[in-house]
Each structure stands twice: as structure tokens, then as C-alpha cells.
């Protein structure tokens, strides 16, 4: 029996000798399913209000701040479980079925939160919040796997960048729409969230490929032929849960890098505002830092990815990871307000360089029939990091003050090293005997 990495695909120039496509070329060459999927991702993120406004809403409804914070933590735990379950269902039931089911479940539970938000029904509220977190996150592994099913290997990193752009645009515009809804009613916020999820479910059911066959990927790279899962097609290998993944040592190292990266990333939201206030700067400075970060990611990531997608994956994830580590460590230096912006620039460009390749890695290397589970595990680790990051960050900040930024830099450097080792590929000459052996084995089955 072959090991979990025996039939992995490779991407980039070293895999197929392809010229890296530009942004518009990649978008033109994607099929209708990919464009509709990106539309669903944007609409769903545009209306994703629960996690952002849950604490404020519960306090408004008479629940104390401590219990409101616990409810938000429950949402994060549900998200981790939902990512794992969504990845499993994407492989077993199919991509479209998982997306539609998760969206409808999320819509139903989200709209019920406005009814359950009271101290008397707190236990039911927490249960509903856990289910809402799980259902909201469960569709993402299926969507990411469908993107990878629908494009050839050399287009994957750019397509993931387009997917991240849709998410980021929705995340930026969503709070603006929420502000208008809050002027009318808190309940309206959750009803609109649910209605956007229903809209996405309907779009997915109508326009995404379903049934038991996959939408063929345009001009697939020759090495990618071994990866036979797709759309809602029958997975080519039998597989239980996550056992095969847990035996894949290099992918476990990648998951560690995802977890560590998420832990330090969340310090932008947990500790950085505390530092800015502690240094005597007005809150406007923190808002400007967030605007700068979002503006760079939205305006620059696609253009940077046009060039980065031609790099070896290990170079992209390690180079970007080092920049992230330097940016975080820079917050701890004495330099005033302008150093804050300089450190932010360095760190955000690190995210832009490494993000698309890092998030494309599970779809790129998953064995046949396991793409959903590999993607779900990656999303779960990132979600776990975002849930634990604020708690751990504030504790370290209280204990060591600005020393947290040196620690973040060290953790970021370790994450970059782990990512480099996890996604490093041997040279084409070194891969040739293994690829030939794989081809012979497949031909004799």
C-alpha cells in the first residue's frame, strides 16, 4: 500500500513547466462554477455578523459580559469542530451537498439566536451558538476543495488568492452594512445574516456542479491526473475519518505552522490595541493600522500572487513567514507611532506573500479522495489558533508587556521554518524516480 504522499501533485513551474498566469487570465480561464462559488463566498462573508457582534448583542439583551464572552468562545469551538466535520462530509457526501446543507443549517440556527438571547435561556443559547459556529465553518473546506477540483494545478495559488479576496472584501464591507442594520434593529442583524446564508445555499444548489460526477478541470497538469476526487464525485479511495492524515508527518508539521501562525496573527486584534493605548496614542491610530492592513491585502495580494505563484511553495511560505515574524517583533521596538506603521507594512506584506500558497497547500498535496479532510484540518487548526490567540496573548501581555512581541517574532520564525520543511519539495530530478514508480504502480492496478 502506498503512503499518504505517494500520489501527491506538485504545482508551479517545476511541476509542469507552465508560465504563471496573470490575474485576469486566471479569472477568464476559470469555469462558471468557480465564479459562482466566489460569489457565494463573498455574499456569505458579507452577512457574517454573528461572531463580530455577538458579545455586544448579548450584553444589549441583558447577559453579563463574562457570559457573553463565554458564548463567543463557544462559537470559536464550534467553528473548529465544523471545519473538521465539513472536510469529512465534503469527501463523503460531495462538495455541493455539504455547502448547501451547512448554509441552510447556519441560516436556521443564526436566525434563532435573536429569540434565545436572554439570561433565562442561556444554556440553549450556548448550544445554538456552537451549532452556528460549526455550520458557518463547515462549508469552507468544501468550497476550497471544489475550487481545487475545478482548476488545473498551475492555477491553484491564484484561485486561492481570488477566494481570499472575496472573503476579505466581504469582511470589510460587512460591518458597514451591519451599522446600517443596527440603526433599525438588533434582530434584523441576525435575520439578514440568515438570509444571506439561504441565498448562498440557493446559488450553490443552482449553479455549482452536483450529482456524482465532477466538473472537469480545464487543461489539467499531467502530474495532477493521479488526484481523482472532484466536484461531488465518488472519492477514488475508501477512507474513514482522519486516520490517514494523522500518519502524514509532514502535513502534521504544516498544521503546526498553521496553528502557530494563527496564534500570533490574532495579537493584531488582542494585544496591539492594548499596546497602542498604553503608549498614549489615540484609538484612531489603531483604526488606521487596521485600515492600512486591509487596504494592502485587498489591493495588493492578487498582484503579488501573480509573481509569487511561480516560486517554489517552500520559498513563498517561508519568506512570507519571516516577514510576518519581523513585523510582529517590530512592534516591541522603541520608535513611536511611525514604527507601528512600518512594522504593520512588513507584516502585512508577509501575509500577502505567504497566504495564498499556505492555504492552497492542503488541496495541492492531499491524497486521492481526502482533499476535503486535509482542507478541513487546516481550517480547524487556523480556527483553533484564532480562538486561543486572544486569551493567551492577553495573559502574556499582562505578564511581560512589550516582551510579547519578541515572543511573537520567535514563534513566527519557528512557524516559518516548520512551513518550509512541511511544503518543501525535492528537485524535479529527485522526484523523477518516485513519480515513475507511482505511474508503474498505478498502471498495474
Residue scoring higher pLDDT (374 or 14): 374
Question: Could you read off the pLDDT of 126-147 as tens digits, one per residue?
Answer: 999 999 999 999 999 999 999 8
Residue scoring higher pLDDT (186 or 23): 186
Residue 192 reports pLDDT greater than 50: yes
Residues 71-85, mean pLDDT to the nearest whole number: 91
Architecture of the domain whose range is 23-210: Up-down Bundle (1.20)
Residue 357 reports pLDDT greater than 80: yes
Architecture of the domain whose range is 243-426: Up-down Bundle (1.20)
Residues 265-276, mean pLDDT to the nearest whole number: 91
Average pLDDT, the chain: 83
Question: Could you read off the pLDDT of 153-170 as tens digits, one per residue?
Answer: 888 899 999 999 999 998
Question: What integer pLDDT is reported at residue 183 of this predicted model?
Answer: 85
Between CA 9 and CA 4 the distance in angstroms is 12
Q: Which three cell numbers stand for residue 118?
A: 436572554
Per domain, the residue ranges of the chain are: 23-210, 243-426
> From the CB of residue 127, how many other CB atoms can be counted at a distance below 10 Å?
15
Within its chain, how far is the Cα of 422 from the centroid?
18
Between CA 192 and CA 107 the distance in angstroms is 9
Residue 355 reports pLDDT greater than 70: yes
Top-ranked range on mean pLDDT: pick from 1-15, 21-35, 339-353:
339-353
Domain 243-426 in the same topology as domain 23-210: yes
Residue 308 reports pLDDT greater than 80: yes
Question: Could you read off the pLDDT of 390-416 as tens digits, one per residue?
Answer: 989 999 999 999 999 999 999 999 999
Residue 333 reports pLDDT greater than 80: yes
Q: What are φ and ψ of residue 135, in 5° steps?
A: -65, -40
Biggest alpha carbon–alpha carbon distance for the chain: 70
Amino acid at each position: 500500500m502506498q503512503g499518504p504522499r505517494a500520489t501527491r501533485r506538485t504545482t508551479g513551474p517545476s511541476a509542469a513547466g507552465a508560465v504563471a498566469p496573470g490575474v485576469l487570465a486566471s479569472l477568464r480561464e476559470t469555469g462558471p462554477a468557480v465564479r459562482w462559488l466566489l460569489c457565494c463566498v463573498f455574499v456569505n462573508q458579507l452577512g457574517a455578523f454573528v461572531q463580530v457582534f455577538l458579545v455586544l448583542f448579548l450584553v444589549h439583551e441583558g447577559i453579563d459580559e463574562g457570559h457573553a464572552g463565554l458564548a463567543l468562545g463557544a462559537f470559536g469551538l464550534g467553528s473548529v469542530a465544523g471545519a473538521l466535520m465539513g472536510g469529512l462530509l465534503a469527501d463523503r457526501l460531495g462538495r455541493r451537498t455539504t455547502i448547501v446543507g451547512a448554509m441552510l443549517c447556519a441560516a436556521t440556527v443564526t436566525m434563532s439566536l435573536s429569540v434565545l438571547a436572554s439570561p433565562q435561556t442561556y444554556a440553549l443559547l450556548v448550544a445554538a451558538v456552537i451549532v452556528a459556529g460549526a455550520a458557518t465553518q463547515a462549508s469552507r473546506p468544501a468550497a476550497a476543495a471544489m475550487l481545487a477540483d475545478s482548476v488545473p494545478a498551475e492555477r491553484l495559488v491564484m484561485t486561492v488568492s481570488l477566494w481570499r479576496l472575496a472573503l476579505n472584501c466581504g469582511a470589510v464591507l460587512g460591518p458597514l452594512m451591519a451599522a446600517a442594520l443596527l440603526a433599525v434593529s438588533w434582530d434584523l442583524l441576525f435575520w439578514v445574516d440568515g438570509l444571506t446564508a439561504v441565498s448562498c445555499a440557493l446559488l450553490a444548489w443552482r449553479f455549482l456542479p452536483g450529482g456524482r460526477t465532477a466538473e472537469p478541470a480545464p487543461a489539467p497538469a499531467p502530474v495532477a491526473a493521479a488526484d481523482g476526487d472532484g466536484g461531488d464525485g465518488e472519492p477514488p479511495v475508501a477512507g474513514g475519518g482522519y486516520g490517514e492524515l494523522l500518519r502524514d508527518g509532514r502535513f502534521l508539521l504544516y498544521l503546526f505552522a498553521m496553528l502557530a501562525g494563527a496564534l500570533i496573527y490574532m495579537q493584531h486584534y488582542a494585544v496591539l490595541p492594548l499596546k497602542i493605548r498604553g503608549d498614549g496614542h489615540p484609538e484612531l491610530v489603531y483604526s488606521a493600522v487596521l485600515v492600512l492592513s486591509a487596504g494592502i491585502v485587498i489591493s495588493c495580494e492578487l498582484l503579488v500572487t501573480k509573481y509569487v505563484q511561480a516560486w517554489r511553495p517552500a520559498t513563498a511560505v517561508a519568506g512570507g513567514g519571516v516577514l510576518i515574524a519581523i513585523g510582529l517583533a517590530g512592534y516591541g521596538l522603541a520608535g513611536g507611532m511611525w514604527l507601528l506603521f512600518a512594522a504593520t507594512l512588513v507584516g502585512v506584506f508577509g501575509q500577502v506573500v505567504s497566504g495564498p500558497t499556505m492555504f492552497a497547500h492542503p488541496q495541492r498535496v492531499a491524497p486521492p479522495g481526502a482533499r476535503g479532510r486535509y482542507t478541513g484540518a487546516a481550517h480547524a487548526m487556523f480556527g483553533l489558533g484564532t480562538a486561543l490567540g486572544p486569551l493567551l496573548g492577553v495573559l502574556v501581555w499582562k505578564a511581560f508587556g512589550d516582551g510579547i512581541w519578541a515572543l511573537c517574532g520567535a514563534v513566527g520564525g519557528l512557524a516559518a521554518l516548520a512551513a518550509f520543511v512541511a511544503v518543501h519539495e525535492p528537485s524535479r530530478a529527485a522526484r523523477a524516480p518516485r513519480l515513475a514508480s507511482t505511474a508503474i504502480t498505478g498502471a498495474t492496478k
